[in-house]
Amino acid sequence: MDCFRIEGPTRLAGRVRINGSKNASLPLMAAALLTDDPLILRDVPDLRDIRNMASLLEELGCSTSREEDGSLHLHVTDPSQSHARYDIVKTMRASICALGPLLAKRGYARISMPGGCAIGDRPIDLHLRGMRALGAEIKLVGGDVVATAPRLVGTTIFLGGPFGSTVLGTANVLSAAVLAQGVTVIESAACEPEIVDLASALTAMGAKIQGAGTPRITVEGVESLSGADHRVMPDRIEAGTYMIAAAITRGDLELENCPYDSLLAVTDRLEVAGIDIALTDESSDRNRAVVRVRAEQRAKPIRLTTQPFPGYPTDLQAQMMALLTLADGNSVVTEKVFPERFLHVPELSRMGAQLFRQGATVVVPGVERLVGAPVMASDLRASASLVLAGMAAEGRTVVQRIYHLDRGYERMEERLCPLGAQIERVDDATLEG
Ligand code: UD1
């Protein structure tokens, strides 16, 4: 199994291009199931989760190919197989994205129920509530969700849950409602930019959608959708991770193709922490901008609470915590989206961080230095926080189980090393002692 061997401390400087968004790509790929025509997606990152979604689509009769220009071509050629089996779903919870499109287009979907994951229970009750409201009959058969509906019928659906709105739940209900009969209103819809991106691709396919990006989305169902050619939005979580990487290494990075306006909650916290962030060209597209991030001194302590968009994203909580372990004072981090998402806490502690957790809150009295140590990646974003900490720590850090990181960051070591990082990918069987 691969691990990262990181030598620190290092300082990052230079320019890096932000890839297309993984989280936007997954429901966009599933949208190929909604049409008989080809769907072309540009700037889809080459990641494990994306390859898993492509395998799932292949199983569901949708051919997938990556062209020389990097675009992904998706085309349904055999609509007879509508079963997403456990061995694929267990590798990727986002397989649930296929539910809405299959049901809407084929009238039938069978999807293995996703299990829990490292960051908590991750139920899908809101997805199912949405499908039921659209008239689907849902049963649980042998661990699979089996959903049937001769034709979905539009209605008003409240999608709020105990932790706020649901991103993939909103994507699923939206992707089903576009082919439903009549008007669907999704109340308490997720406002994340990835939903706006999905809505814009669906609109290009012929869907009639209003309000994407607000808590009320209105969809007027249409009889059929065509193909489209869509460029995926840049990955705001990758961009945020590299911003924090610049901050923790007291570096100077320019991020190209950076979704600046989708990261305001993040740049707000970084600026309060004393990090200098600037759009290099005010007149450019603010969501594909060049952004310079500079840190000259130790970060100042901050308070941070994760929230649904436009609040601070839970997917950047672990990385920011790595930065705060080295801040000059006491920070407080509260997780309101996934209250159990703190697997990085014991690992950062192994590197000398002071972290005191009470329920969904962690108090972080900053220390002057972290020291390299062997640590274990446990989920995607926690792994990123350990890599950031490793670049700032003194000595050698070995981050094991880097396959978690590869799910969401395209060859992170190859992107960071030209900027000054010293990271080597090695097979952990070859590590001495
Ligand atoms: C997506 C992102 C993930 C991000 C998360 C929150 C993808 C592929 N993944 O995940 O990276 O961390 O949004 O921004 O886009 N919930 C329920 N019932 C449901 C669904 C969710 O109670 O049916 C709860 C969850 O347990 C969680 C909260 O709602 O506490 C938000 O989860 P949700 O927005 O659904 O996360 P995902 O869409 O799965």
| Neighbour count for residue 432 (Cβ, 10 Å) | 3
Task: Measure 122 CA to ligand 1 centroid, in angstroms.
Answer: 7
Q: Whose CA is nearest to atom 12 of ligand 1?
A: 315
Residue found under tokens 């599933």: 30
Q: Ligand 1 within 6 A of 306 CB?
A: no
Find where tokens 């709020």 sit: 160
Distance CA 210, CA 187 (A): 12
pLDDT, residue 429, reads 82
The pick from 93, 238, 337 for probing ligand 1's pocket by mutation, whose C-beta has the most ligand atoms within 8 angstroms, reads 337
The closest alpha carbon to 266, from 226, 334, 317, 224, belongs to 317
**Are 262 and 252 a contacting pair, CB within 8 Å?**
no
Of 185, 198, 161, give the one whose Cα is nearest residue 308: 161
* Largest Cα span, the chain: 65
Asked if residue 310 has its Cβ within 6 Å of ligand 1, the reply is no
203-207 long-range contacts, CB within 8 A, separation 24+: 204/228, 204/229, 204/230, 205/31, 205/34, 205/35, 205/39, 205/178, 207/178
For the Cβ of 145 lying below 6 angstroms from any atom of ligand 1, the answer is: no
Closest CA to ligand 1's atom 13:
167
The token duo for 41 is 């997606």
- CA of 190, closest atom in ligand 1: 34
Residue in 97, 117, 191, 417 annotated catalytic: 117
- For the chain, how many residues are written? 433
Q: How far is the CA of 80 from the centre of ligand 1 (A)?
A: 30
Give the contacts of 49 (CB within 8 A, at least 6 positions apart): 22, 26, 92, 94, 407, 408
Q: Whose CA is nearest to atom 1 of ligand 1?
A: 167
Residue 108 CA: distances (Å) to CA of 5, 89, 103: 47, 17, 5
Instruction: Decide if 225 contacts 104 (C-beta within 8 A).
Output: no
Dihedral of alpha carbons 391, 392, 396, 398, sign: negative
Q: Whole-angstrom Cα distance, residue 292 to residue 151?
A: 50
Q: Is any atom of ligand 1 closer than 6 Å to the C-beta of 86?
A: no
Q: In the numeric block, which tokens belong to residue 110?
A: 């069978």
pLDDT at 117: 63
Q: How far apart are CA 291 and CA 39, in angstroms?
A: 31
pTM: 0.97
Neighbours of 212 (CB within 10 A): 25
| Nearest CA owner, ligand 1 atom 15 | 23
> What's the CA-to-centroid distance between 63 and ligand 1, angstroms?
28
Verify whether residue 417 is a known catalytic residue.
no
Q: Are 250 and 297 in contact (CB under 8 A)?
A: yes
Contact 168 CB / ligand 1 (< 6 Å): yes
Work out which ligand 1 atom sits closest to the CA atom of 97.
Answer: 8
How far, in Å, CA of 426 to CA of 428, rounded? Answer: 6
Walk along the chain (433 residues) and give the pLDDT tens digit of each residue. Answer: 899 999 999 999 999 999 999 999 999 999 999 999 999 999 999 999 999 999 999 999 999 999 988 899 999 999 999 999 888 888 888 999 999 999 999 999 999 988 656 666 678 999 999 999 999 999 999 989 999 999 999 999 999 999 999 999 999 999 999 999 999 999 999 999 999 999 999 999 999 999 999 999 999 999 999 999 999 999 999 999 999 999 999 999 999 999 999 999 999 999 999 999 999 987 779 999 999 999 999 999 999 999 999 999 999 999 999 999 999 999 999 999 999 999 999 999 999 999 999 999 999 999 999 999 999 988 999 999 999 999 999 999 999 999 999 999 989 999 999 999 999 999 988 776 5
Ligand 1 centroid to residue 128 C-alpha, Å: 14
Determine whether the shortest distance from the Cβ of 124 to ligand 1 is under 6 A. yes
Please state, in angstroms and rounded to a whole number, the distance separating the CA atoms of residues 269 and 303. Answer: 8
Alpha helices in 142-278 (DSSP H): 167-177, 193-204, 236-248, 264-272
Query: 112 pairs with which residues across the strands?
Result: 144
Whole-number Å distance between alpha carbons of 387 and 405:
9
Q: Is 26 in the pocket of ligand 1 (CB under 6 A)?
A: yes
Q: Which of 150, 132, 147 is nearest to 98 (CA)?
A: 147
> Tokens 């709105």, residue?
165
Q: Report the interhelical angle of 99-106 vs 125-133 (nearest 10°).
A: 20
Q: Which of 29, 167, 334 to mutate to test the pocket of ligand 1 (most atoms within 8 A of CB)?
A: 167
